[in-house]
Amino acid sequence: MPLDTMSDEPDEVLLVLFANGNASAARALTARLTPRVMGHAYRLLGNHAEAEDVTQEAMLRLWKIAPDWRQGEAKVTTWLYRVVANLCTDLRRRARGVALDSIPEPEDGRASVTDHMQAEARAEALQTALDQLPDRQRQAVVLRHIEGLANPEIAEIMDITTEAVESLTARGKRALTAALAGRQEELGYGDE
């Protein structure tokens, strides 16, 4: 099946085709899922190189589990978000163990931003603030407010209740608001 005809196929169908040796399914899944996995890994880690490593490993695990994938049990993306979170947690745990002092402090003063870079600067500011959150709060906030998932799916990914998800996102947002309070004017919040 050509790649362009696979654009409408669900992830689960493509995964079955992949397990049957279909090369087009592999390319379609790579093109569809890698940017999503990469974006999520970066938001959890705040480091591009580490996010790439996590992305490659998560996708490799997806390829390996494909023949044993059980239809209807979980969405492929749900499974991937979970794997990414676990890999990021492992990576951060190892980093804390060996190089706690080497993690750079967030930049305090930033050069004034031009209008066309404003959104990018906001994204960077948010990432800096996200990096300061506890892992679980960061994961919940990113899944809810950036990936746009519903609380029940987040609960499944994080293996907690929906009430716990709500609690984590609420605390996370309070911390983000506090962290970004001093930068809203600088980053053009008043323009919105």
Partner 1 sequence: MAMSDKDDMPGLEVFFDAARRHAAEPSAALMARIDEDAQAVQALAQRPAPQSTRRSTLSSQLYRLLGGWPAMTGLATAAVAGVWLGISLPEGILDGTSDAAYLVDVAPELAFDLAGGDF
Question: Which amino acid makes up residue 170?
Answer: A
Cβ neighbours of residue 79 under 8 Å, at least 6 residues apart? 62, 65
Token code pair at residue 61: 């695990």
Closer residue to partner 1, CB minimum distance, 101 or 115: 115
Contact (CB, 8 A) for 141 and 148 = no
Residue 46's Cβ-side half-sphere holds a number of Cα atoms within 13 Å equal to: 20
Distance separating the N- and C-terminal Cα atoms of the chain: 46
Candidates 28, 43, 42; CA nearest to 76 is: 28
- Candidates 11, 144, 153, 154: give the one binding partner 1 (CB under 8 A): 144
Using CB under 8 A as the criterion, what x/- string covers residues 114-143 for binding partner 1? ----xxx-xxxxxx-x--------------
By CB under 8 A, is residue 185 in contact with partner 1?
no
By CB under 8 A, is residue 164 in contact with partner 1?
no
- Number of shown-chain residues binding partner 1 (CB under 8 A): 52
Q: Which residues of the chain form contacts with partner 1 (CB under 8 A)?
A: 18-19, 21, 23, 26-27, 29-31, 34-35, 38-39, 41-43, 48, 51-52, 55-56, 59-60, 63-64, 66-67, 118-120, 122-127, 129, 144-146, 148, 169-170, 173-174, 176-177, 180, 184, 187, 189, 192
